[in-house]
Structure 1
Amino acid sequence: MTLLAERKPTTTTGGSPLRPEFLRGFAPLAGAAILLTLLVALAVPADSWQGGWAETRDRTHAAAVLLGIPLALAAGCWQGGRERRRGTGDLLETAVRGALPRFLAPAVPVALWVAVGQLAAAGCVLLATWYCATGDSPYPAVPPADSLLLGSAALAGHAVGRAVRWRLAAPLLATGAYAVLGFLSYDRTEAYARLSPLIDTSVTRVTVWWQPWVSVAWVGGLALAAVLALTARRRATALVPLACATAAAVALVQADGLTRPNPVAQRQVCDTTTTPQVCVNERYERLLPQITEALSGLTGRLEGVDNLPVRFEDHPGRPRAGEVELPGVTPLGWSVVRGKLADPRQYA
């Protein structure tokens, strides 16, 4: 009789539990949804921002806040209710891992994919402006801050999805978030409006350097407090991020001002080879040769004429002594489309 050799058990080294969540399932779809939504929302009025860095900054930021945050909340909320829909919630309660790791395993991939989707959309928009930019320079701090806001919203939505046993929680949460953001942004004179991540900027103003990051601390602190209140062994630890969020909110509300004049928008660049001189706002300095060419027929006939103004100007406010206001190049999409004068003869 031959003895059968005892077969040794084979062992397999399992990968990280986050890997399947990152590569498959709902998380990549959530990132793709954010990317497509923002690109479609920005592509429709592309003429109104393409070519101007400040216009690109404002449109991208507004789309990320008003559309991206509600979608991120809904995505996180839907993912948070996944185990309940599958009927595996009780099974997970018996797992060796604690409540916080069980929460983070499905929540972090959605948050990261949502943030990546927003960054990819912002990158596409920046590239669309880069080749036809009329001057100024990009605002690199805005897209990363927006991505952190969306990631925080996804984590907060996941906490809501875990806590609320209702299939309609995700769309209602997105609708409520959109309404709250709209309310906070409705009356800019109120102090509570500063709690909105959407700050009222313009082509002539920029936010102070710390505002985006304090807004991230405000929103992210609330999200982290919700996560810890739901999963931490000691619920009191949620008070730490809640205190940080409160401090950030107080800083936003009590600040003397969250915007300052854009120094580039206060300066003029001039072509002194003509009479009168032709000056444009430094934000649109690359348009100066086109504008000078468009006005060449006029300036050529004025050579030698007495009592001429010193220059055509394009600074905010009324013309100064010896100056005449230049035809406006803004808003983009009318006189200027994608970095070029749409109709030089009509402009002149």
Structure 2
Amino acid sequence: MFDPAAGYPTHRPRRLRGNPRLRDLVRENVLTRDDLIYPLFVYHGSNLSREIASMPGQRQWSLDRLGEVIDQVVELKIPGVMLFGIPERKDARGSAALRDDGLVQQAIGLIKKRAPELLTITDLCFCEYTDHGHCGPLVETAGRIDVDNDATLPLLVEQALSHCRAGADVIAPSGMMDGMVRALRAGLDGSGFAHIPIMSYASKFASAYYGPFRDAAESAPSFGDRRGYQMDPANGDEAVREAAIDLAEGADVIMVKPAMAYLDIARRLKDAFRVPLAAYNVSGEYAMIKAAAERGWIDERRIVLETLTGFKRAGIDMILTYHAPDVARWLQQG
């Protein structure tokens, strides 16, 4: 018999959780293949498909074998890729990044012939191309060696124009140089590429999560670190200011990098600006999940899908992730 004095709950949220179809209907955020961008490493040489030891399942691809992974991406209906290049020869200026016949430029052309519908995004930076591993040419001031911010800007424009001539759909400057978006927007607009969007790494932190990427891109600094231009992980207000500057200078999409430890930043940016927001699920985040899964400590599929759904919940629209092929398969399977 029901006794009102027994204090039964007035509100019962569990009513909406009991039936799996009802759970689907009330789900607030849904991860789909259309959210995914797959980062790819294009390597000098021929007949190369080399697994990256610290990133199980990820590979460096020579141009003559890049079509293998592009076909896979298209078959899985992943909408876009992000390209990084690792040239054979590096110098203090990163000259290999500027060549119209450079690795990334040739990769763009190959993709556009093989899969013209595939969104092709290019990372704009110099750390993979300089012999010192920093993100632009260096200058010594008051006994301190640092990246020459203003000398880097015209080189970024030159690199971007080369990518656009090759057929890039989106350019993504990642070096955290002051004024980079303004310089790029002016350079693109003045050269007939006003239609090319800029996806700015607006809030890129000097993170320990990048370790495996430096193996993949062979881009570890030969001295010092990048804390002089990438952001302090302790700062949140600064991330909002950086994003505001890039948007004012003409960015079309802003990005948070890394993702997992910075979802508070993603949410703040989405709430503040309501613009398209990307996040880079970086190499260290990927490697930790793969290592734990290989040891049987976690369910890889459930962990990855839960993690990326969390990105969506934080307001992220586009997810750059090395998990993209697996996620696309899992979502296809249901």
TM-score normalised by length of structure 2: 0.25
- Report which of the two has the higher share of helix: 1
Radius of gyration: which is bigger? Answer: 1
